[in-house]
Chain A
Amino acid sequence: MSELVQINHLKVDLMSISGLIHAVRDINLTISSDEIHGIVGESGCGKSMTAKSILRLHDESKVEYSGEILYDGGRDILKMNKKDLLKIRGNDISMIFQDPMTTFNPLLRIGDQISEALLIHQKISKAEAKERSVEMLEKVGILPGAARYSMYPFEMSGGQLQRASIAMSLICSPRLLIADEPTTALDVTMQAQILKLMKQLQREMHSAVLIITHNFGVIAEICDKVSVMYAGQIIESGDVRKIFSAPCHPYTKDLIDSIPRSGERATKLTSIPGAPPKLNHTINGCAYAPRCKYAAEKCCCEAPEFRTLDGGHRYLCHLAHDSLTKGGATE
């Protein structure tokens, strides 16, 4: 396993009417080839901003990046010229978006939109591109591929469109697939199918996947590694199983606790009180302190530093937790 994308000290500032918003504040993230990495967090925590930064999809007249995003051990995507960036987009790194109904251009045939990426990135004939697109459609379970190739987006259902958009993003066999809430707009049965399909294709094609979600269930189902984001920072990251069984950051624990469990007949759903902080000013101390059950005095004024455990598990907290599930903080 080699490091495919390495994000170092990434900061993303967004110019808005209400002033500068620090949407992503200094994150470090490594995605290895062959792994499925998940980013989880509440709405507005900067997870989607981070994902889109990898392909530099933000309107650069309104967004300012700093830090670096190294691709394949060297080239910094943030400093790349337009030409090189176009070569990477769709070919080396591709993306699936949240709402399959609006992902496709409504006026062009599904198949033509899939083969467009092939025709741009590879020197092949139109007939060959079509052949490969049909194959890809069948691979993602859209049958018969040849007939579906010439359909328009409005003729397909949401689930089928999300399959088609997976086909579109994998057509050039990218080394990294970024999926930005790929199942949020789908119903639950379709969600499971799409996740299964993504996992299966990831194994077949040996590509890395970065999946963005607010749903810990999705992470548990397909990810190898997870990074938990809060207020524009990664507050805990590591192996999914470890984090699930023994979360170390209070936010991660609260997030896991708020997953409704079947079998239990709770009178009330567990939720985290309060709301994430506004991101238009600097945050002193720990961003989670105002909502944290374990908050100590220094949490509100002193920025915490990462603590590292075995197997690359690290978390951003003042308090050393053995494991929060066993109750309480030590120190």
Chain B
Amino acid sequence: MGKFILKRIGQLILSLFIASILVFIFVRLSDTDPVAVILGGKQTSQETIQAIKEKFNLDKPLFQQYLLWIDGLFHGDLGLSFKYQTSINELIGPRILTTLGLVSASSVIALVIAIPLGIFCAVKKHTLWDRAGSIFSLILAGCPSFFVSILLILLISAVAPTYPFTGTYANFAEYCQRLFVPSLALACTMIALASRVMRSSMIDQINAPYTMTAVAKGVPQSRILFKHNMKNAVIPVIAIVSIQIGSMVVGAVLVENVFSLSGLGSFLVDSITSSDYAVVQDITIMLVFLFLVISTLADIIYAAIDPRIRLK
């Protein structure tokens, strides 16, 4: 298992390295001149331009620029924003907190709802309960998250008008309070997807021959479901969830906008429209890192569950 984890981490570092080169090159393929962005359209002298180039390392060869960027990343220094001309660390810090909080909270909410729902529908297969579950999932899957956000806002304003779900936060309790409703809105798609996958894979497991062996052994139904079937059934759910979490980071933009939270996604979109490529490359590489970490984690969870992956 240790060897397996080390191998996966090695692969993660290699992928991250390749991605960093690609991100760096693609950002530089743009025909927008960074100096123009930094100046924001103002007229200026040649000396000032030279000074700007030096400040942002734009006078150095590309290879050196890349090395400086990577070196900065290793030291936790994300460089300077073209547009704001301040440290990107300060700009991104609170936004990461918001987005990561939003994404992890909605993943947890989604799994807590989807897995029991999937099991329930599988056990009650083809009954009215199962149909109701299917319809519920279809509605959730069909509703865009911003629409659910608006509905939730309407609902909360009517039911609990004093509940504070927008604005900034000062401490952890407030942070959780602000993020709860947006997380719920963001979780919808994942609840729908994960519960459908859980249902069908649970049905497969209930019909698997080994389940009949367990029944013939005299194992009670609840123990068969939770000890034998669930472990097998959860494997495809991990796959779908790990992919979904990645796209949630960007998808969070819509929810962040509705709840006027400033997150990573909206900052990325802003930076692209204002051609602030220093920020674009930082956020992109962070998203790549996040994707890789999640898929590595998913692989490690697979291996922990399934001996065929761990031992082969």
Complex: A154 Cα to B311 Cα, angstroms: 10
A302 located at the interface, meaning its Cβ lies under 8 Å from any Cβ of chain B in the complex: no
Check if A120 sits within 8 Å of B218, measured CB to CB: yes
Residue in chain A with minimal CB distance to B208: A102
A244 located at the interface, meaning its Cβ lies under 8 Å from any Cβ of chain B in the complex: no
Check if A106 sits within 8 Å of B232, measured CB to CB: yes
Contact A116:B209 (CB < 8 A) given known A107-B231, A107-B305, A152-B308:
no
Q: Which residues of A contact B215 (CB under 8 A)?
A: 55, 57, 89
A interface residues (Cβ-Cβ under 8 A, vs B): 55, 57, 86-91, 94-95, 97, 99, 102-108, 116-117, 120-121, 152, 154-155, 165, 168-169
B269 located at the interface, meaning its Cβ lies under 8 Å from any Cβ of chain A in the complex: no
Q: Which residues of B contact A154 (CB under 8 A)?
A: 307-308
Contact A94:B307 (CB < 8 A) given known A106-B210, A107-B231:
no
Offer 11 A-B interface pairs, CB within 8 angstroms, sorted by A: A55-B215, A86-B218, A89-B217, A91-B218, A105-B213, A105-B214, A108-B231, A116-B214, A116-B219, A120-B220, A152-B307
Q: Which residues of A contact B308 (CB under 8 A)?
A: 106, 152, 154
B212 located at the interface, meaning its Cβ lies under 8 Å from any Cβ of chain A in the complex: yes
A102 to chain B: closest CB distance in Å?
4
Residue in chain B with minimal CB distance to A91: B218
Q: Which residues of B contact A120 (CB under 8 A)?
A: 217-220
Check if A104 sits within 8 Å of B218, measured CB to CB: no
Complex: A108 Cα to B307 Cα, angstroms: 8
Check if A168 sits within 8 Å of B217, measured CB to CB: yes
Check if A89 sits within 8 Å of B311, measured CB to CB: no
Complex: A165 Cα to B217 Cα, angstroms: 11
Check if B218 sits within 8 Å of A105, measured CB to CB: no
Residue in chain B with minimal CB distance to A55: B216
Q: B interface, how many residues as a size bin?
A: 20 to 34
Q: Which residues of A contact B220 (CB under 8 A)?
A: 86, 120
Kindly identify which residue among B212, B218, B219 contacts A97, using a CB–CB cutoff of 8 Å: B212
Most A CB within 10 A of own CB, among B208, B228, B231, B307: B307
19 additional contacts, CB 8 Å, given A116-B219, A169-B216? Answer: A55-B216, A57-B215, A87-B218, A89-B216, A89-B218, A90-B217, A97-B213, A102-B210, A103-B210, A105-B210, A106-B210, A106-B306, A106-B307, A107-B231, A117-B217, A120-B218, A152-B308, A165-B213, A168-B213
Complex: A116 Cα to B213 Cα, angstroms: 12
Residue in chain A with minimal CB distance to B214: A105
Complex: A165 Cα to B216 Cα, angstroms: 12
Complex: A91 Cα to B216 Cα, angstroms: 9
A61 to chain B: closest CB distance in Å?
9
Contact A104:B213 (CB < 8 A) given known A152-B307, A152-B311, A154-B308:
yes
Q: Which residues of B contact A116 (CB under 8 A)?
A: 214, 217, 219
Check if A107 sits within 8 Å of B307, measured CB to CB: yes
Q: Which residues of A contact B214 (CB under 8 A)?
A: 105, 116
Complex: A152 Cα to B303 Cα, angstroms: 14
Closest 3 CB pairs of A and B: A90-B218, A89-B218, A90-B217
Check if B218 sits within 8 Å of A121, measured CB to CB: yes
Complex: A124 Cα to B289 Cα, angstroms: 50
- In residues 198-238 of chain B, which contact A (Cβ within 8 Å)? 208-210, 212-220, 228, 231-232
